[in-house]
């Protein structure tokens, strides 16, 4: 056994953060949300880069194992990724460009299909409840929907295209940041560690390690959740007989990255497709809704706790409450960012609380400062 290691736990008991620390964690998460909401142009590429660096790390590790230096391996995986991305983008643009008119007509067709489904549903409801019939609900909703769908392209598609073009430079920053995350991640680690006093050094390094682990397991959990959601939705939609079931499942699973709003958007998308492609069979749209509700329940009670929730070790009540807070503070970006931010704030808060409330560490730090002051003044007396 080493002279300095062993199994004599003097201070092995570790308690979690107290109520003050928890209040600090929630406050810090909210403040971060407000701050980050103002620099989304930077947050989005940084998050993309983080996810990309986690995804590119395994091939980079293989290259390093094969003998390449960290720098060469990072440069190679990022370059290959960029070439694949550019090729895929060009192919997609060529494919989408040739079908631009079809796309526009398709969007309008699907919206009309959704409107017809809504109109029929309201008509059935009016036939059963006279209160709704007296309110003339079906007619007024249909008029509003017709107005909306007639001007949909001008009002929604064009601003969407403009905002995608505006976000393009920020998206290009993602792979650029990812390269530096992969190459210099360790140097950054060392840079932070150098700024920490000796007494807090080991705990701070442990904190950085935990933060890294939390981030990695969160995004790895999110990727697993997306695959599980795609399989569940794809299988369900394929069983219902919807065209493009797997693609629709994937799009809906990706949209579900934004809690609640994303799931609703995914469900609406599938309902529109079902209503348009099966105009004579409204049951298909209702089955699609049932499928979404089932997958949502599966997500909340099976998939999410086993993937993302497990990685962050969050109580379900806290997760839901924080999602509401995130939405209220920073809108849709807040919904998407609140859980990873809370995860990081929890790790930092717990570690800071442990470090700052540790009297022994504080005493050691003060003692070291006194020693340094005495050394600096040694020849002045």
Partner 1 sequence: MLGFLRPVVSSDLRELKALPLFSDLSVRDLKIVQGVLHEREYLAGEVIFDEGEEGNALYIVRTGRVLICRQGRPENAIAEIGAGGFFGELALLDSAPRAAQARALDPCRLAVFFGSDFLSLLETETKLSNRILFQFARHLGRRLRGTVL
By CB under 8 A, residue 202 contacts partner 1 = yes
Among 205, 211, 240, 318, binds partner 1 (CB under 8 A): 205
Of 215, 230, 202, 213, whose CA–CA distance to 49 is shortest? 215
Tokens read off for 349: 């808060």
By CB under 8 A, residue 5 contacts partner 1 = yes
The residues near 225 (Cβ < 8 Å, ≥ 6 apart) are: 253, 256, 299, 303, 304, 307, 308
Helix (H, G, I), strand (E, B) or coil at 12: coil
Q: In a 10 Å sphere around its CB, with 0-12 CB exposed, 13-18 middle and 19+ buried, how is residue 81 labelled?
A: middle
Q: Of 37-45, 75-83, 118-126, 204-212, which segment contacts partner 1 by CB under 8 A?
A: 204-212
Contact 285, 274 (CB under 8 A): yes
Of 326, 130, 309, whose CA–CA distance to 222 is shortest? 309
Sign of the Cα torsion 229, 231, 236, 240 reads positive
Among 144, 201, 294, 301, binds partner 1 (CB under 8 A): 201
The residues near 243 (Cβ < 8 Å, ≥ 6 apart) are: 273, 277
By CB under 8 A, residue 1 contacts partner 1 = yes
By CB under 8 A, residue 310 contacts partner 1 = no
Among 120, 216, 224, 364, binds partner 1 (CB under 8 A): 364
User: Which C-beta is closer to partner 1: that of 130 or that of 375?
Assistant: 375
User: Which C-beta is closer to partner 1: that of 135 or that of 368?
Assistant: 368
Among 15, 375, 378, 380, binds partner 1 (CB under 8 A): 375
By CB under 8 A, residue 11 contacts partner 1 = yes
Length of the chain measured in residues: 381
Helix (H, G, I), strand (E, B) or coil at 358: coil
User: Which C-beta is closer to partner 1: that of 155 or that of 369?
Assistant: 369
Smallest gap from residue 180 Cβ to partner 1 (A): 16
User: Which C-beta is closer to partner 1: that of 209 or that of 310?
Assistant: 209
Among 38, 99, 155, 209, binds partner 1 (CB under 8 A): 209
Query: Quick one: three-class SS letters along 55-81?
Result: HHHHHHHHHHHCCCCHHHHHHHHHHHH
Among 79, 105, 127, 206, binds partner 1 (CB under 8 A): 206
Smallest gap from residue 218 Cβ to partner 1 (A): 18
By CB under 8 A, residue 66 contacts partner 1 = no
What is the rounded distance in angstroms from the CA atom of residue 289 to the CA atom of residue 102? 27
What is the rounded distance in angstroms from the CA atom of residue 114 to the CA atom of residue 265? 13
* Residue 114 burial (CB count, 10 A): 21
User: Which C-beta is closer to partner 1: that of 186 or that of 315?
Assistant: 186
Q: Please count the residues of this chain forming the interface with partner 1, following the rule CB under 8 A.
A: 34
User: Which C-beta is closer to partner 1: that of 120 or that of 212?
Assistant: 212
Contact 208, 193 (CB under 8 A): yes
By CB under 8 A, residue 372 contacts partner 1 = yes
Among 128, 134, 359, 360, binds partner 1 (CB under 8 A): 360
Find where tokens 């799009």 sit.
251
Among 35, 39, 41, 61, binds partner 1 (CB under 8 A): 61
By CB under 8 A, residue 3 contacts partner 1 = yes
Question: Which residues contact partner 1 (rule: CB under 8 A)?
Answer: 1-12, 61, 64-65, 70, 186, 190, 193-194, 198-199, 201-202, 205-206, 209, 360, 364, 367-368, 371-372, 375
């Amino acid at each position: 056994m080493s002279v300095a290691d062993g199994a004599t736990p003097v201070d092995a008991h570790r308690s979690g953060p107290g109520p003050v620390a928890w209040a600090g964690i929630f406050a810090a998460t909210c403040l971060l949300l407000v701050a980050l909401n103002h620099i989304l142009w930077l947050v989005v590429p940084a998050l993309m880069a983080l996810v990309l660096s986690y995804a590119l790390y395994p091939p980079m590790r293989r290259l390093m194992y094969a003998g390449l230096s960290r720098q060469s391996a990072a440069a190679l995986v990022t370059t290959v990724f960029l070439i694949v991305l550019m090729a895929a983008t060009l192919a997609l643009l060529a494919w989408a460009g040739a079908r631009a008119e079809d796309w526009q007509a398709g969007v309008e067709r699907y919206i009309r299909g959704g409107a017809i489904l809504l109109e029929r549903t309201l008509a059935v409801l009016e036939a059963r409840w006279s209160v709704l019939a007296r309110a003339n609900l079906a007619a007024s909703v249909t008029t509003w929907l017709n107005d909306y769908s007639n001007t949909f392209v001008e009002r929604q598609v064009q601003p969407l295209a403009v905002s995608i073009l505006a976000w393009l430079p920020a998206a290009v920053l993602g792979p650029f940041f990812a390269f530096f995350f992969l190459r210099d991640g360790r140097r950054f680690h060392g840079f932070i560690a150098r700024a920490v006093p000796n007494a807090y050094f080991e705990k701070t390094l442990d904190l950085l390690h935990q933060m890294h682990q939390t981030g990695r397991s969160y995004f790895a959990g999110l990727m697993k959740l997306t695959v599980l959601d795609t399989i569940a939705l794809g299988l369900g939609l394929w069983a219902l007989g919807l065209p493009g079931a797997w693609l629709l499942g994937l799009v809906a699973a990706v949209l579900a990255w934004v809690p609640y709003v994303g799931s609703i958007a995914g469900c609406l998308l599938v309902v529109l497709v079902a209503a348009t492609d099966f105009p004579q069979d409204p049951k298909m749209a209702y089955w699609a809704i049932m499928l979404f509700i089932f997958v949502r329940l599966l997500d909340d009670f099976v998939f999410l706790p086993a993937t993302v929730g497990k990685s962050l070790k969050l109580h379900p009540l806290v997760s839901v409450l924080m999602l509401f807070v995130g939405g209220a503070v920073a809108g849709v970006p807040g919904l998407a960012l609140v859980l990873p931010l809370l995860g990081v704030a929890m790790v930092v808060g717990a570690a800071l609380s442990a470090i700052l409330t540790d009297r022994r560490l504080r005493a050691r730090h003060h003692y070291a400062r006194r020693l340094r002051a005495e050394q600096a003044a040694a020849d002045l007396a």
